[in-house]
């Protein structure tokens, strides 16, 4: 019985150490960025969502249309940056139509990337959110993008009504 408890404690300790190592390793990576002015495709793991590739149904999330109030790209990016920061994200890179941000989990320090690209020709805002390591994210990346979209819509509706 005592040997079994020692083995279980050792296995649990190794499991926790493994997750801390994964979290540490995720800090050294960076977001994939833009490729030919589009967000990167998701890998074949379930911990990524993107609005850039409709054919990849398991990872697809709808983009959002720019509002009727005709916000400039700069205004839209400013709103989205504020939303990301309010959600606890850190802006890592900003270009004229692109934002790369990171979110870090509280316990193990896993880093997830959130990328936002505004397509002014299509009047769409595209998203990609992915975990840097591992396979599963328990739906965190999809929920994150859904929350950003919801907060953006709420903000733009509020501005229209004022």
Domain spans of the chain? 2-161
Question: Which tens digit of pLDDT belongs to each residue from 97-121?
Answer: 999 999 998 887 889 999 999 998 8
Question: Which tens digit of pLDDT belongs to each residue from 122-157?
Answer: 889 999 999 998 888 889 999 999 999 999 988 886
Question: Distance between CA atoms of 45 and 59, rounded to whole angstroms?
Answer: 9
Q: Pick one of 1.10.3720.10, 3.30.310.80, 3.60.21.70, 3.90.1640.10 as the CATH number of 2-161.
A: 3.30.310.80
């Amino acid at each position: 019985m005592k040997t079994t408890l020692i083995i279980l404690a050792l296995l649990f300790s190794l499991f926790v150490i493994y997750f801390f190592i994964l979290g540490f390793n995720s800090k050294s990576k960076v977001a994939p960025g833009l490729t030919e002015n589009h967000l990167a495709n998701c890998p074949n793991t379930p911990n990524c969502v993107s609005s850039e590739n409709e054919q990849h149904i398991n990872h697809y999330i709808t983009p959002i249309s720019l509002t009727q109030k005709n916000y400039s790209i700069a205004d839209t990016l400013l709103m989205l940056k504020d939303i990301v920061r309010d959600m606890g994200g850190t802006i890592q890179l900003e270009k004229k139509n692109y934002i790369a941000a990171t979110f870090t989990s509280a316990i193990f320090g896993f880093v997830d990337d959130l990328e936002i690209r505004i397509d002014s020709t299509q009047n769409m805002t595209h998203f990609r959110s992915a975990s840097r390591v591992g396979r599963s994210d328990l739906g965190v990346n999809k929920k994150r993008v859904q929350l950003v979209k919801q907060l953006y819509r709420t903000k733009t509706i509020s501005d229209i009504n004022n």
